[in-house]
Amino acid sequence: MNGPLKVALLGCGTVGSAVLRLLQDQSGDLAARIGRPVEVAGVAVRRPQHHPDVPGDLLTTDAHALVTRDDVDLVVEVIGGIEPARSLMLAAFESGKSVVSANKALLAEDGVALHAAAAKAGVDLYYEAAVAGSIPILRPLRESLAGDQLSRVVGIVNGTTNYILSRMAETGAGFGEALAEATELGYAEADPTADVDGFDAAAKAAILASLAFHTPVSAADVHREGISEVTATDVARAAEIGCTVKLLAICERVAGTDGDSVAVRVHPAMIPTTHPLASVSGAFNAVFVEAEAAGQLMFYGQGAGGEPTASAVLGDLVAVARNRLAGAAGQGPSGYADLAVRPMAETPTRYHVSLDVADKPGVLAAVAQEFAQHGVSISTVRQTGRGDAATLVIVTHSAPDAALSDTIDALREMPAVVGVTSVLRVEGLS
Ligand code: HSE
């Protein structure tokens, strides 16, 4: 068997068409790197008439027939969503074909079953493009760092929300205004829910945590909060304490009396402007990794877009093609550690709270008492006065998240508290 390796491309949107273009433009280099030419066997799309640039004899609406064709060796899935992507992937495995996918939602929902199906068939399932677009992060977690112990992976893995938060910080705009600008400039989709409400980042967090901690984590295990409640006041308060607001995907190993567990969460947080992630602005992505032996690492780049994402897809394609020619599948991710997933309520976090209060004796003591009653230790307090009113800005030490949120609820009920004007978690402060 010395003919070209044949690839079925499922989907030809922004990413698929970039994959197709790069496969053609770089065919010579790819053949040299793989050891065999790569040829596109077919391109499955829903509406062939929308793809005038793709040779007509490659286009098909029958994706299932394409992936199960005898002459197809490898499948690239860039359709996205759960179905029909899942059925097509399973059909590919059953007919002995490795799959390269960019499908974060599917991998985050059903990664364990899909890996099991690929392993049973002795083929590969690679999906570098599913998390942070062009940035190589899954392979480093899976391979380069396989000899180390990871403690935390913190990512800015959604470009839309990072763009919005960056503009809020730059211009002082509120969320609605910054979202409108992002939509007009094409950074946000017409329906921005998946990005703004954190679903996209939560799927990526599940994938990152699974690989980092050798533990199956699905999107349903991820605590998720979006950025629509972030106010211009939150952003201004962050600046006052030398911080900036980011939507973070935080995956960490947490030690407990009953053993280690993993905590995985997506929410907006203040981080110090000196933290490497603080300088990631606009639509860029970055993933910050803390490992026992390697120390701190940061991976930075373009997290979306046709060509950047296609770069990751093609990197995987080269890997699975080489494996196929070697007659072997690569090692899939391991779930051997199988750590428990820690509920958000029990996950240690820190809060920044800004309160408008009456400026009179005993108010600060009463506020501090409320924190103490919930077992929350205060790190810093700053007061600014305005006549007989004052603003208290409090940063806590780490405490279980439920204790912190219960404290906020109790503060809202205190007669001396005129208003709780900003509540945001804080990450990366010493
Ligand atoms: N919609 C994502 C983002 C890119 O805004 O970063 C695809 O995951």
Domain tally, the chain: 3
| Segment 111-118 long-range contacts (CB within 8 Å, at least 24 positions apart) | 111/206, 111/207, 111/210, 111/216, 111/218, 111/333, 112/216, 112/218, 112/335, 114/86, 114/89, 114/90, 115/332, 115/333, 117/89, 117/90, 117/93, 118/93, 118/329, 118/332
Q: Domain check: are 142 and 288 in the same one?
A: yes
Supply the DSSP string of 33-97, one letter for each residue: HHTS-EEEEEEE-S-GGG-TTS-TTTEES-HHHHHT-TT--EEEE---SSTTHHHHHHHHHHTT-
Kindly report the CA angle at 223 between 221 and 227, in degrees rounded to 5? 145
- By three-state DSSP, how is residue 107 classified? helix
* Block residue for tokens 């533990």: 215
Q: DSSP letter at 150? A: E
- Check if 201 has its Cβ closer than 6 Å to any atom of ligand 1: no
Cα 77 to ligand 1 centroid, rounded to whole Å:
17
Is residue 179 domain-resident? yes
pTM for this predicted structure: 0.97
Atom of ligand 1 nearest to the CA of 158: 6
Query: Domain containing 61 — which CATH number?
Result: 3.40.50.720
Q: Could you say which of 251, 286, 302 is where a domain stops?
A: 302
User: 234 exposed, middle or buried (CB, 10 Å; 0-12, 13-18, 19+)?
Assistant: buried
Query: Domain containing 420 — which CATH number?
Result: 3.30.70.260
Q: Domain check: are 414 and 287 in the same one?
A: no
Q: Could you say which of 302, 317, 335 is where a domain stops?
A: 302
Q: DSSP letter at 235? A: H
Q: Domain check: are 148 and 289 in the same one?
A: yes
Q: Domain check: are 223 and 310 in the same one?
A: no
Q: Distances in Å between the alpha carbon of 124 and those of 74, 147, 218, 334, 364?
A: 9, 22, 20, 14, 60
Cα of 334 vs its chain's centroid, Å:
20
- Check if 156 has its Cβ closer than 6 Å to any atom of ligand 1: no
Q: Regarding beta strands 150-156 and 125-126, do their DSSP bridges make them parallel or antiparallel, or are they unpaired? A: unpaired
Q: Domain check: are 195 and 212 in the same one?
A: yes
Is residue 170 domain-resident? yes
Cα 183 to ligand 1 centroid, rounded to whole Å:
13
Q: Which domain holds residue 271?
A: 138-302
Is residue 334 domain-resident? no
- Check if 200 has its Cβ closer than 6 Å to any atom of ligand 1: yes
User: Helices in 276-362 by DSSP H: which ranges?
Assistant: 306-326
Atom of ligand 1 nearest to the CA of 204: 8
Q: Domain check: are 391 and 322 in the same one?
A: no
- Please tell me the distance from the alpha carbon of residue 371 to that of residue 380, in angstroms, as a whole number: 12
CB 267 within 8 A of CB 225: yes
Task: Specify the pLDDT at position 389.
Answer: 87
* Number of CB atoms found within 10 A of residue 144's CB: 12
Q: Domain check: are 272 and 409 in the same one?
A: no
* Sequential pLDDT tens for the chain (430 residues): 579 999 999 999 999 999 999 999 999 999 999 999 999 999 999 999 999 999 999 999 999 999 999 999 999 999 999 999 999 999 999 999 999 999 999 999 999 999 999 999 999 999 999 999 999 999 999 999 999 999 999 999 999 999 999 999 999 999 999 999 999 999 999 999 999 999 999 999 999 999 999 999 999 999 999 999 999 999 999 999 999 999 999 999 999 888 999 999 999 999 999 999 999 999 999 999 999 999 999 999 999 999 999 999 999 999 999 999 999 998 888 899 999 999 999 999 999 999 999 989 999 999 999 999 999 999 999 998 877 889 999 999 999 999 999 999 999 999 999 999 999 999 998 7
Q: Domain check: are 127 and 92 in the same one?
A: yes
Asked whether the bond before 361 is cis by omega within 30 degrees of 0, the reply is no
Tokens of 372: 């103490």
* Block residue for tokens 């990751």: 312
Tokens of 46: 């829903």
Is residue 61 domain-resident? yes
Atom of ligand 1 nearest to the CA of 163: 5
Is residue 336 domain-resident? no
Task: Specify the pLDDT at position 1.
Answer: 57
| Residues classed as catalytic | 204
Atom of ligand 1 nearest to the CA of 160: 5
- Please tell me the distance from the alpha carbon of residue 274 to that of residue 142, in angstroms, as a whole number: 29
Is residue 395 domain-resident? yes
Is residue 363 domain-resident? yes
- Check if 304 has its Cβ closer than 6 Å to any atom of ligand 1: yes
Ligand 1, pocket-test mutation among 179, 200, 246, most atoms within 8 A of CB? 200
Is residue 331 domain-resident? no
- Check if 111 has its Cβ closer than 6 Å to any atom of ligand 1: no
Q: Domain check: are 217 and 113 in the same one?
A: no
Cα 350 to ligand 1 centroid, rounded to whole Å:
27
CB 309 within 8 A of CB 166: no
Q: Domain check: are 219 and 241 in the same one?
A: yes
- Please tell me the distance from the alpha carbon of residue 243 to that of residue 351, in angstroms, as a whole number: 13
Q: Domain check: are 291 and 166 in the same one?
A: yes
Task: Report the DSSP beta bridge partners of residue 226.
Answer: none
Cα 187 to ligand 1 centroid, rounded to whole Å:
9
Task: Report the DSSP beta bridge partners of residue 384.
Answer: 391
Report the chain's C-alpha Rg in angstroms.
24
Cα 160 to ligand 1 centroid, rounded to whole Å:
6
Q: Domain check: are 226 and 312 in the same one?
A: no
Q: Regarding beta strands 125-126 and 223-224, do their DSSP bridges make them parallel or antiparallel, or are they unpaired? A: unpaired
Task: Specify the pLDDT at position 385.
Answer: 80
* Number of CB atoms found within 10 A of residue 356's CB: 15
Query: Domain containing 195 — which CATH number?
Result: 3.30.360.10
